[in-house]
Structure 1
Amino acid sequence: MVESILKGEVMLATADDIPNWMKLVDVVKENFPGLQKESYLVTLRKNIARKTALCFKENGNIVGILLFSPNQNRLSCVAVHPDYRRLGIASKLIEKMLVLLQPNREITVTTFREGDEKGVAPRKLYKKFGFEEAELLTEFGYPVQRFVLRPDNLDCILGVKHSEVKLVPYSELYNLLFAHESKKIAEALGDNVFQIYHVGSTAIVGAIAKPLLDISVCVRDINAIDVHAMKTLGYECMGEYGIPGRCYFVKRKNEDISTHHVHCFTDGNENLTNQLLFREYLNTHPEAVREYNKLKLSLFEKYPKERHKYTECKTDFIMNIVQLAQKGR
């Protein structure tokens, strides 16, 4: 199923946004125990100056807000207007924060405790991003709980059942996850690695995609790949898996949910070249991305439980784009 695709966008708040921001704070103030508007306003101005205040605007109106602290690596507060909840706005705000924080160390947030009605939605949201429950605390006289996001937990946003199709909007987090995983792959495969590329739809800005990472590794010797080292990272070697000259690896969780696909090729392999041509063409032709998205949605409606058929029916479009890219070289 495709998650909500919003027209608005996340941006850094400016001083001009303060009146609109504070209107939203008035609407949601019951969710902020101990809130004192005067001190909050001082904090907001400081965050705007430090570029750590994010807002989501829909039709020019602020409908979502988030403050964070890079020094403490902490999500300070997040809120969405009641009329705009369950549309993915809080997720978009958190995604942007994570990109700006570059989460190579623990990130923390406090929220309502389990059993508190106000905590149902935020606790579910934080767990979606890999935050884990930590110690119980009291803030401003109110019982809360600390949640912690550890660097290796962020890839919990990835995962699709082998036989199913799941499509989600583009996320900047994919580049962050690629950087994290490619570093581990480079260390595992050592000097045999020539270059590592982020490919597939998660590497295309604006493309809806299955939430799994496709990574291509250009190696010096396809026969010298350290399969054992990849296994220690959680990958299963699938051999060529229908594509001559490839060594293919899959990482899964819960046995049937794929999170990462790694394609190893030697330099000059046609499949690797085509992957890169397709990625670069779509990243410079947004109209082609929109066309690709429409195709994916139509195929998803036809084949939600038939991944093979869904993939097969994209072939003509992909080869068309590759040919256009070749002509433009």
Structure 2
Amino acid sequence: MANNNQQPTPAEEGNPWVHGAPTVEHLEVVPYNKEWPSRYTALEARIRETLGGRAVEIAHVGSTAVPGLAAKDVIDIDLTVADPRREETYVPQLTALGYDLTVREPWWHEHRMLRLAHPRVNLHVFGPGTPELSRHLMFRDWLRSHPDDRDHYTKAKATAAPGARDAMEYNSRKNAVVEQIYERMYEVQR
């Protein structure tokens, strides 16, 4: 049964992993690295050069985009393209840069994720106006301007990582703190 947005659910669509379940990846939260912004800038430039106008917008999101926040050493990037379903307009070009399409979730805002192994990057692809893009930017900007929540989130991340079998378990373990921060963030918006 489709959800309220009339999009198929994961159960209807099947497994989101393009190559099957991912291999176990060691999760380690490390202190903030002042090189993360310049690493992002270089990655963004290569994506823009490769995709040209097909890259509607590119943004550094996630914990590595927040100065002072401990994080996994993985750069998260949001890439907006006109239509994520038209993979032929961006995936081959990104594959040529070393990215690998690993996740396809048509039921969740047509999300695609490509991974780069070195340096480690999660490149999230959405279409214009997707609420998730705004949510990522709001959360990043909130943590940049609210050091108490940034520090609270750092502690949650440090507690969630040890023993987590994968990113899904890691995210689940820190979800309660993320939700608390969202509540404060959205309260200010009201």
Q: TM-score range by the shorter chain?
A: 0.7 to 0.9
Q: CA deviation at 1:171?
A: 1.5
Checking the alignment, whether the CA contact within 8 Å between 2:59 and 2:79 is kept in structure 1 is yes
Task: Pick from 155, 167, 170 the counterpart of residue 29 of structure 2.
Answer: 167
Taking a change above 3 Å as real, the CA distance of residues 319 and 269 of structure 1, as seen in their structure-2 partners, is farther
Q: CA deviation at 1:191?
A: 1.1
Amino acid at match of 2:113: Y
The 5 Å alignment of 1:1-329 reads: 162-224=24-86, 225-241=89-105, 243-253=108-118, 259-301=120-162, 303-329=163-189
Q: After TM superposition, which residue ranges in structure 1, 4 or more long, deviate above 6 angstroms?
A: none
Separation (CA, whole Å) in 2 of partners of 1:226 and 1:318: 31
Checking the alignment, whether the CA contact within 8 Å between 2:100 and 2:116 is kept in structure 1 is yes
Q: CA deviation at 1:190?
A: 1.7
Q: CA deviation at 1:229?
A: 0.3
Unaligned segments of structure 1, at least 5 residues: 1-160
* Structure with larger Rg: 1
Q: CA deviation at 1:239?
A: 4.0
Aligned Cα RMSD in Å?
A: 2.0
Separation (CA, whole Å) in 1 of partners of 2:127 and 2:187: 24
Separation (CA, whole Å) in 2 of partners of 1:207 and 1:218: 25
Q: Which has the higher contact order (CA 8 A, sep 6+)?
A: 2
Checking the alignment, whether the CA contact within 8 Å between 1:192 and 1:221 is kept in structure 2 is no
Checking the alignment, whether the CA contact within 8 Å between 1:274 and 1:322 is kept in structure 2 is no
After superposition, what is the alpha-carbon deviation per residue over 1:131-153, rounded to whole angstroms, capped at 9, x for unaligned? xxxxxxxxxxxxxxxxxxxxxxx
Amino acid at match of 1:232: A
Taking a change above 3 Å as real, the CA distance of residues 235 and 288 of structure 1, as seen in their structure-2 partners, is same
Separation (CA, whole Å) in 2 of partners of 1:316 and 1:235: 31
